[in-house]
Amino acid sequence: MKPQTVNTPSPHIEVPPHPQWPMLSPAEREALREHIKQLMRERDAVLVAHYYVDGELQSLAEETGGCVADSLEMARFGARSDARTLVVCGVRFMGETAKILNPEKTVLMPDLGATCSLDEGCPAEAFSAFCDQHPDRTVVVYANTSAEVKARADWTVTSGIALDIVRHLHERGEKILWAPDKHLGRYVQRQTGADILLWDGSCVVHEEFKGFALERLRRLHPEAAVLVHPESPDEVVSQADVVGSTTALIKAVKELPNEEFIVATDDGIFWKMQQAAPGKKLISAPTAGEGATCESCAHCPWMAMNALHNLETALREGRGEIHIDEAVRQRAVVSIQRMLDFAERRG
Ligand code: 13P
Ligand code: SF4
């Protein structure tokens, strides 16, 4: 069965340039890290970081008992943590998910402007109208959406659990309305055979990976395993040895016998991959070549908005706090909790 993609009026998405952070000497950097640790103790704060943020933030999160994870594990960690303050180093939807699940906690982010092209490309009002047109379908939304969109959904999923949840719904005979990532939606459709109606959204970072240039790179590195995040276009996914969430790709680098890997996802992940498998060679999948449109060049411009500098400001001034309307939160938590309960049962 071929999934049907609905041509929604796609809003123009402004892709910001990568921010330039001031250079720090080793001594300045160390002083800043120590100061951040002090502020974290004062606020009873813990860092919840995504694999795509700067390695500096990932190492600080690990050193201070926080977590570095994919979006599913970030949500699970926040819900388990005893800390009064969660500082989410990632993009806006990750901070919102933390707040939805932990309304009694303060959730801070280094920069509230760190959004995501999938979230931006799925405005709540247009999405709600789309759902109204298809009342017979179960609404499944990717975690990379606003609280309002999650509030309209039956299920929230991340790339780490999408296949299992959609397979389960398909086995129950449910037809699905999927938003916003059409590439991930198509991949899920091919793997599960489910009847899926797709919203027309995409990730500006993964969409830039080029199938043709990847073929050429593979010829130059015939021993390399190709690892692909399913937000990538079909012609890239079809060349993969492993398709999966960020956690699944890191696991593949560690467990596969290959010494070289071509990686089609944000290159922030290299920090963790290198830590997991020191000595293995990591090559970024091409975003250049024929038809190149490289704006992000394999690094998410919104993830890049997280740095030691604005983390320190957020902790010192309590800036970057996430607030969610309580009525929206109460509806959004249902679709997220369904995913977490499913994950718990799955183990
Ligand atoms: P993961 O859930 O695999 O970490 O993906 C989140 C994301 O934004 C990928 O671009
Ligand atoms: Fe969104 Fe893509 Fe950035 Fe992930 S990499 S946060 S999907 S824009």
**What's the pLDDT tens digit per position in 310-332?**
999 999 999 999 999 999 999 99
Q: What are phi and psi of 260, to 5 degrees?
A: -125, 145
Q: Which atom of ligand 2 is nearest to the CA of 119?
A: 1
Of the candidates 241, 212, 246, 214, the one whose C-alpha atom is nearest the C-alpha of residue 226 is 241
In whole angstroms, how far apart are CA 49 and each of 62, 165, 178, 243, 261? 9, 25, 27, 22, 24
Angstrom distance (rounded) from CA 264 to CA 214: 9
Buried residues in 190-224 as b, exposed as e (16+ CB within 10 A): bebebbbbbbbbbbbbbbbbbbebbeebeeeeeeb
Ligand 1 centroid to 3 CA: how many Å?
A: 22
Q: What is the pLDDT of residue 297?
A: 73
Measuring from atom 8 of ligand 2, which residue has the nearest CA?
116
Measuring from atom 1 of ligand 2, which residue has the nearest CA?
116
Ligand 1 site residues, Cβ closer than 6 angstroms: 70-72, 144, 158-160, 203, 229, 231, 245-246
Give the helix ranges, DSSP H, for the chain.
26-43, 55-63, 71-80, 92-101, 117-120, 124-133, 147-151, 162-171, 182-192, 211-220, 234-237, 246-255, 270-276, 308-317, 326-346
* Burial class of 266 by CB neighbour count within 10 A (0 to 12, 13 to 18, 19+): buried
Angstrom distance (rounded) from CA 309 to CA 271: 20
Measuring from atom 6 of ligand 2, which residue has the nearest CA?
116
Ligand 1 centroid to 31 CA: how many Å?
A: 31
Best probe residue, ligand 2, of 145, 184, 206, 287 (max atoms within 8 Å of C-beta): 206
Angstrom distance (rounded) from CA 37 to CA 49: 15
Q: What is the pLDDT of residue 119?
A: 97
Angstrom distance (rounded) from CA 141 to CA 157: 6
Angstrom distance (rounded) from CA 137 to CA 174: 7
Angle at 62 between CA 310 and CA 159, to 5 degrees: 85
Write out the H or E segment, with its range, that includes residue 195: none
pTM over the 0.85 mark: yes
Residues of the chain with pLDDT under 70: 1-11, 288-296
Other CB atoms within a 10 A radius of the CB of residue 225 amount to 19
The position carrying tokens 């929604």 is 8
Q: What is the pLDDT of residue 347?
A: 80
Angle at 122 between CA 183 and CA 9, to 5 degrees: 90
Helix, strand, coil percentages for the chain (3-state, nearest 5): 45, 15, 40
In one letter, which amino acid is 328? V
Measuring from atom 2 of ligand 1, which residue has the nearest CA?
71
Ligand 1 centroid to 172 CA: how many Å?
A: 27
